[in-house]
Amino acid sequence: MSPSNSQLKIAIVGAGLGGLTLARTLQQNDINCSVFELDVSPNSRPQGGSLDMHQESGQYALRSNGLWDKIEPHMRYEGEDLRIADKTGKIWLEEINETDDPSSQRNRPEVDRSVLRQMYIDSIKEGTIHWGTQVKNIVPVEPLTENGRTLYTLVFRDGTEETFDIVVGADGAWSRVRTLLSDAKPVYGGVVMIETRLMNVDEDHPEEAKLVGHGTMSALSDNKGIMAQRNGDGSIRNYITLRIPENGLPEKEFLQESTGRAYLLNQFNDWSQDLRDLIENGQGLTPRFISALPIKHRWTSRPGVTIIGDAAHLMSPFAGEGANLAMIDGVELGLAIVKAIKEGGDLA
Residue 96 binned pLDDT confidence (cut-offs 50, 70, 90): confident
Per residue in 123-173, pLDDT tens?
999 999 999 999 999 999 976 655 667 899 999 999 999 999 999 999 999
The predicted-structure confidence for 282-314, as pLDDT tens digits, reads as follows 999 999 999 999 988 899 899 999 999 999 999
DSSP helix/strand/coil, 240: strand
Query: What's the whole-model pTM score?
Result: 0.90
Peptide bond into 186 cis (omega under 30): no
List the helix and strand counts (H, then E) for the chain: 10, 17
Please, which residues have CB within 8 angstroms of residue 87's CB and are 6 or more apart in sequence?
Answer: 219, 221, 222, 224, 268, 270, 271, 272, 275
pLDDT on residue 3:
52
How much is the pLDDT for 348?
61
Q: In which element (H, E) is residue 169 found?
A: strand 166-169
pLDDT of residue 129: 98
Query: Rounded distance, CA 231 to CA 154, Å?
Result: 38
DSSP class of 134: -
Measured between alpha carbons, how far apart are the two ends of the chain, in Å?
13
Q: What gap in Å lies between CA 24 and CA 70, rounded to an integer?
A: 14
The pLDDT of residue 91:
94
* Alpha carbon distance 130, 158 (integer Å): 13
Q: Does 1 score more than 50 pLDDT?
A: no
- d(CA 278, CA 89) in angstroms, rounded, equals 12
**The dihedral sign for the CA sequence 330, 104, 77, 49:** positive
Q: Which of 51, 70, 48, 49 is nearest to 109 (CA)?
A: 51
Whole-angstrom distance, CA of residue 91 vs CA of residue 290: 26
C-alpha distances in angstroms, 8 versus 93, 111, 241, 251?
53, 35, 46, 47
pLDDT value of position 49: 82
Angle between helices 17-28 and 113-123 (to 10 degrees): 30
Burial (CB count <10 Å: 0-12, 13-18, 19+), residue 245 = exposed
3-state secondary structure of 225: strand
The pLDDT mean for the chain works out to 91
When pLDDT is averaged across residues 88-107 and rounded to a whole number, the result is 74
Is the separation of the CB atoms in 62 and 330 below 8 Å?
no
161-220 pLDDT per residue, tens: 999 999 999 999 999 999 999 999 999 999 999 999 999 999 999 999 999 998 999 999
Task: Render pLDDT for 13-55 as a digit per residue (tens, 0 to 9).
Answer: 999 999 999 999 999 999 999 999 999 998 888 777 888 899 9
Domains parsed from the chain with CATH numbers:
10-76+109-185+294-343 (3.50.50.60), 187-292 (3.30.9.30)
Please give the pLDDT value at position 321.
Answer: 87
pLDDT at 342 over 90: no
